[in-house]
Amino acid sequence: MAETLKKLDELVALCKRRGFIFQSSDIYGGLASCYDYGPLGVELKRNVKNQWWKSVVQMRDDMVGLDCSILMHPMVWKASGHVDKFADLIAECKKCNTRTRVDHLKGAEGEETTHHSHAEVSENNLVSKICPNCGAKGQFTKPMPFKLMFETQMGANAEDSMTLYLRPETAQGIFANFRNVLDTTRIKVPFGIAQMGKSFRNEVTTKAFIFRTREFEQMEIEFFCKPGTDEQWYEHWKEQRLNWYTDLGIRPENLRLRKHEDDELAHYAKGCVDIEYKFPFGQGDWQELEGIANRTDYDLRQHQRGMRSMTKWFEAKRDTLKTPLLGEDEEYQKGPLSYFDDEAKERYIPYVIEPSAGADRGTLAFLVDAYAEEEVRGEKRSVLRFDPRLAPIKVGVFPLVKKEGMPEKAHAIYNDLRKGFPCFYDEKGAVGRRYRRQDEAGTPFCVTVDGQTSEDNTVTVRERDSMDQIRINSDQVVHYLREKLQM
Ligand code: ATP
């Protein structure tokens, strides 16, 4: 009987042992909440990102991609609201001085986590809450905001240096390029822009391996549509994104959609759901994998306001106007971030549906869901049952023994196969052990050259999950595996 993952620790150990994920700066004792992807991990995470890109950009006519810089003009973060509002409410335990995010505090009877990180919370609301560090009940200071953006300085001289932010999300780069994309492509609303890349948040509490870290990668979409059609696109993206995870092998029973309560919603958002995965933290903990929000026209409007305030600034400084100032009404209708619909002959600011996923969090979910432990002929094996599209190595190639021309033949097959996909050649130790190593790496197929190969030119192909072995002609191996791997 195969057992699924009970505790995250087993997976963390496997990830370290097999070179998926290491603690950052390990040789200096490590840097908390920062992780490095090793030889297998880098392939896995890249496959996750490539599958996302393929599904949301390559396979769609209504999506384009973007890759913007991490450092942006500080006005971007002023206009988006991040400079003033991007903070978590934290409270300090008066007993042990530990600071905890208010929305992560739990009550005495293990009440559900509350989710109002942005709502007003006073000390009074925290009387029933327990300190996760020392267990004291209701001993919290007044909640205070904790700024999440990392700051850095650009420029060498004090007088011309400028404070910049490491982006806390990739989304704003998309809004800032909305006009550029419209002006340089033939794309028409409804359409979306996708971007993936690093984001940084000075999180109060980090959590569970790569689940919540201070540096992480996001995969975000802003889908622009005509106001009035937004509900329909919101439904569309909920379905698409949930299907993406199950199509790549996540068990449906470990996924759910959780609709945000009204008091959790940002004031501008019309609706928001989280795709949650049942992570093996504690007793099995439903946690956000991806958020999908209907953000209305809030972001584009905010950036139009930001652009206008810059114009005012120029006006005061130089006494010249580069662009005429627009009144509020006109601004909304005709501003630089509005869209003119040729067919309907109308101008509007598009609404936005935002599916925002984490590449690291997704990678963790794929690892957790793929992990199994089982007894095979009296021996325990750990196996990662990755969908072949996500597997870091697609095929292991072995000579049964290091003689009788087997290594040469296996090498020839290996060289043929690696032109199409990542493969691994291994001739060390007993063949059973080599299979186990590939099981732990999640490799879906292994090809073995043995004594019979020199007689009839057949090789063994062994499948990871069933461990079934078949013999096929070595000339057919490339074709056979291409079909099986859909590559
Ligand atoms: P949380 O409440 O778990 O910190 P969030 O609601 O602030 O997350 P969003 O701002 O909605 O997260 O970000 C979108 C996605 O980016 C998340 O669903 C998650 O996958 C990923 N993400 C956000 N913060 C982190 C982080 N600190 N570490 C890893 N991934 C993150």
pLDDT tens-digit profile of 16-42?
A: 999 999 999 999 999 988 999 999 999
pLDDT of residue 486: 83
Closest CA relative to residue 67, chosen from 237, 214, 218, 241? 218
Q: What are the sequence ranges of the domains in the chain?
A: 3-81+164-366, 88-146, 393-485
pLDDT of residue 39: 97
Residue 193 pLDDT grade (very low, low, confident, very high; cuts 50, 70, 90): very high
Q: Do 3-81+164-366 and 393-485 have matching folds?
A: no
Ligand 1 neighbour 222 (Cβ under 6 A): no
How far apart are alpha carbons 486 and 270 in whole angstroms? 40
Phi, psi of 292 (to 5 degrees): -125, 120
The CATH superfamily assigned to 393-485 is: Anticodon-binding domain (3.40.50.800)
Predicted TM-score (pTM) of this structure: 0.89
Any idea which residue has 């196996």 for tokens?
383
Residue nearest to atom 8 of ligand 1 (CA): 288
> What is the full DSSP assignment across 267-335?
TT-SEEEEEEEEESSTT-EEEEEEEEEEEETHHHHHHHHHHHHHHHHHHHHHS--SS----HHHHHHHS
pLDDT of residue 283: 64
pLDDT tens-digit profile of 260-279?
A: 998 888 888 999 999 999 99
pLDDT tens-digit profile of 56-106?
A: 999 999 999 999 999 999 999 999 989 888 788 888 888 998 888 888 888
For the CA of 362, the nearest atom of ligand 1: 20
Q: Which residues contact 480 (CB under 8 A, 6 or more apart)?
A: 461, 472
For the CA of 206, the nearest atom of ligand 1: 27
The CATH number of the structural domain formed by 3-81+164-366 is 3.30.930.10
Omega prior to 190 cis, within 30 of 0: yes
Any idea which residue has 């662009």 for tokens?
323
For the CA of 211, the nearest atom of ligand 1: 29
Handedness of CA 262, 266, 268, 270 (dihedral sign): negative
CATH T-level topology, domain 88-146:
Rubrerythrin, domain 2 (2.20.28)
Contact present, 244 and 268 (Cβ < 8 Å) = no
